[in-house]
Structure 1
Amino acid sequence: MQEIVKEIYTESIQAHIAAGEVLPSALESAAFTIAQNLINGNKLICCGFQSCQMLAQHIATLLVNCYETERPCLPAIALNTEVTNLSTYAEQSEHDVFARQVRAFAQQGDMLLAIAINGNEKSIISAVESALTKDMTVIVLVGNDGGELAGLLGPNDVEIRVPSKRPSRIIESHLLSLHCLSELIDLTLFPQDETHA
């Protein structure tokens, strides 16, 4: 069993190294885009499919509270899957759960951060489509080949695609990417004096 644990850690480390080679440019672009959006008085709307829902809540919490350095609150919300319990409509159209909230809450200039595993999750695709109809900039965290989501994104959108096919490794990389985003956003909006770092 210990060998299995070592294999899991090794595979995870290798996935992080591979992601570290291909994601820096996309993460930098996403962080700058989010920071600019927040400077302009807009908010970041986050959503994630199934196990990625906790990641959407995590990034929204980090922005509203703080990552590692005390700073003013930043406007971010995570869309809720629990609204499905409030409507019989949702039973017929679960894939619309995020899209309806985007249509209800998003205002001009807001951004959508969507977190998926393979890019073919219907609820995330619908949310992105709703965001695009409102001319929102979209940032997508996804794995594998990007799936259907990859084909929806325009030149102003940002795709952060983990070079892995295994869901567990993709989710782990997403978490690290979100922490990178949080730190880069903080450094952009609240630069620290390097002599005190």
Structure 2
Amino acid sequence: MTEPHRAAHEHCQSLQDALARLREDGLDRLAAWGEHLAALLPAGGRLLAAGNGGSAAQAQHLTAELVGRYRDERPAYSAIALNAETSSLTAIGNDYGYEEVFARQVAAHGRPGDVLVLMSTSGRSPNLLAAADTARGAGLPVWAMTGPRPNPLAARADEALCIDAPATATVQEAHLVALHLLCEAFDAAVAGRDPAAADEAAPVRRGRPVAVRPAPAPARRTA
């Protein structure tokens, strides 16, 4: 077996082991997170998400699944990837320092009861730790997806899903599976909720989700 072949086998085995541990230890947590969001988002609540590097892409992936759709047709829900707000990100970094790029956005956009999801393979990024502190001070639950325990972000979060894997790439790959499982749990919980109960709760927050309608065809121009 060549060295590249061996490395590929070891990578796949590491991922397989990490997913086995996720399946054993993480499914109940992800189901509970999905059910929590199914009560929050249709009532006008919001999910904020953030990460650095590859975890920034994961945060955007999660919010895109909620604003768009994961699989089945459903209303759009409010979710913002803070790392995608490039003008805010660079302005805050320039004026206040990179450690504050997410915390200041949490202070701006978060409301008590909204959820902040922070994704980090190390669990040690100062800007995510600052965001967690700001969120908890403002009354937002903090959920973390990290690499192995112990790490500072898992300790500061209200709840954490920690992937026990030695390589950054394996942690990120397992995070992708986890966020898809979260979206599946959310969709299943939303589909199973009583629409009347959701209608009663919606005005309490920011209003009902806006139904997405096809854009009208442009008017034909006449000569």
What TM-score bracket applies, with the shorter chain setting the length? Answer: 0.7 to 0.9
Corresponding residue number in structure 2 for 1:112: 116
Instruction: Give yes or no for the alignment of 1:89 onto 2:80.
Output: no
Corresponding residue number in structure 2 for 1:41: 44
Provide the C-alpha distance between the structure 2 equivalents of 1:8 and 1:179, rounded to a whole number of angstroms.
21
Report the Cα offset of residue 50 of structure 1: 2.1
Task: Give the aligned residue type for 2:162.
Answer: R
1:88-136 C-alpha deviation (Å, 9 max, x unpaired):
314xx20110001001111232110111112111111111111001011
Report the Cα offset of residue 84 of structure 1: 3.8
Provide the C-alpha distance between the structure 2 equivalents of 1:4 and 1:50, rounded to a whole number of angstroms.
23
Residue among 15, 20, 23 paired with 2:23: 20
Aligned CA distance change for structure 1 residues 146 and 43 (closer, same or farther; 3 Å): farther
User: Is the Cα contact below 8 Å between 2:51 and 2:83 reproduced in 1?
Assistant: no
Which aligned segments of 4 or more residues in structure 1 are displaced greater than 4 angstroms?
Answer: none
Per the normalisation by structure 1, the TM-score is: 0.88
Corresponding residue number in structure 2 for 1:78: 81
Work out the percentage of aligned pairs sharing the same amino acid: 26
SS at match of 2:30: helix
Comparing 51-60 with 2-11, which one deviates more in the overlay? Answer: 2-11
Provide the C-alpha distance between the structure 1 equivalents of 2:184 and 2:156, rounded to a whole number of angstroms.
28
Task: Give the aligned residue type for 1:23.
Answer: G
1:37-96 C-alpha deviation (Å, 9 max, x unpaired):
213320101111222000000000000010111111111111036334335314xx2011
Corresponding residue number in structure 2 for 1:171: 172
Task: Give the aligned residue type for 2:7.
Answer: I
Per the normalisation by structure 2, the TM-score is: 0.78
Comparing 32-41 with 64-73, which one deviates more in the overlay? Answer: 32-41
**Max Rg structure:** 2
Residue among 49, 63, 66 paired with 1:63: 66
What's the RMSD between the two structures over aligned residues?
Answer: 1.7
Corresponding residue number in structure 2 for 1:188: 189
Unpaired segments ≥5 residues, structure 1: 193-197
Provide the C-alpha distance between the structure 2 equivalents of 1:185 and 1:72, rounded to a whole number of angstroms.
12
Provide the C-alpha distance between the structure 1 equivalents of 2:188 and 2:18, rounded to a whole number of angstroms.
26
Count of paired positions: 187
Task: Give the aligned residue type for 2:108.
Answer: A
Corresponding residue number in structure 2 for 1:138: 142
Residue among 79, 102, 107 paired with 1:103: 107
Provide the C-alpha distance between the structure 1 equivalents of 2:125 and 2:91, rounded to a whole number of angstroms.
22
Comparing 81-90 with 4-13, which one deviates more in the overlay? Answer: 81-90
Provide the C-alpha distance between the structure 2 equivalents of 1:146 and 1:50, rounded to a whole number of angstroms.
21
User: Is the Cα contact below 8 Å between 1:27 and 1:177 reproduced in 2?
Assistant: yes
